[in-house]
Amino acid sequence: MSFFDKIELWDQKLLLLINGCNSEVLDVIMWIVTSKSFGIPVYVVFALVFYKIFGVKKALIFCALVIVAVSISDLTAKYCFKEVFERFRPTHHEILKGKLHIVNNYRGGKYGFISSHASNMFSFAVMVFLLIREKIRWLLLPLILWASLISYSRMYLGVHYPSDIIVGALVGSVIAGIVYYLAKQFNWIKC
């Protein structure tokens, strides 16, 4: 068995374990957590925190940098991974789709490597932390837990393998780091 076959087997087993620990209450919670509107209050809070701590000009720049990082993460997940690797989501995998607990008949798009949710949320979390860390260092853990909860919901719903989530989180984090580094080089952060 090759290295990639072992990863595939591990991915399937772990996904079935996560997806198999379901309940009606968790179905509702994970459905809400995975929705696009779930993050809106968090985005608004951080925009207000940026404003309160740094003022209007810097808050606008910081919000723009977060949007740039998340947008690049989203486009990278789609065009550099999903459309290149064309790895079927578990819900579209011939063997797995009959074994998964499906919520609200949601199966996601055809391809799932990497998770856009994981990439985007970790990009958001890392970018916000990098921008605010000198003022509020303790925010790293809550930001990572928030991004992890959203990422976990994708496995719970059966639309992503653990490796989709792990690689997505890494890609999003790296993109946030690159955007932050470039912003520092161009002195956009010190305005």
- Average pLDDT of the residues in 62-77: 97
**What pLDDT score does 191 carry?**
53
Inform me whether the pLDDT recorded for 1 exceeds 90.
no
Q: Which of 147, 132, 134 is nearest to 46 (CA)?
A: 132
Contacts 24+ apart (CB under 8 A), 92-101: 96/12, 96/15, 96/16, 96/158, 99/16, 100/16, 100/19, 100/158, 101/19, 101/20, 101/22, 101/158
Grade residue 95 by pLDDT with cuts at 50, 70 and 90.
confident
- Average pLDDT of the residues in 44-53: 93
> DSSP assignment, residue 81?
I
Q: What is the per-residue pLDDT across 5-18, written as a single tens digit (0 to 9) for each?
A: 888 899 999 999 99
Share of the chain above pLDDT 70, in %: 99
Share of the chain above pLDDT 90, in %: 85
Report the chain's mean pLDDT, rounded to a whole number.
94
Q: What is the per-residue pLDDT across 100-144, written as a single tens digit (0 to 9) for each?
A: 999 999 999 999 999 999 999 999 999 999 999 988 888 889 999
Inform me whether the pLDDT recorded for 169 exceeds 80.
yes
| 31 vs 135, more confident | 31
Inform me whether the pLDDT recorded for 25 exceeds 60.
yes
Nearest 10 degrees: CA dihedral of 64, 66, 67, 69?
120
State the DSSP H helix or E strand holding residue 10, giving kind and residue range, or none if neither.
Answer: helix 3-20
What span, in angstroms and rounded, lies between the C-alpha atoms of 34 and 19?
14
Q: Are 124 and 175 in contact (CB under 8 A)?
A: no
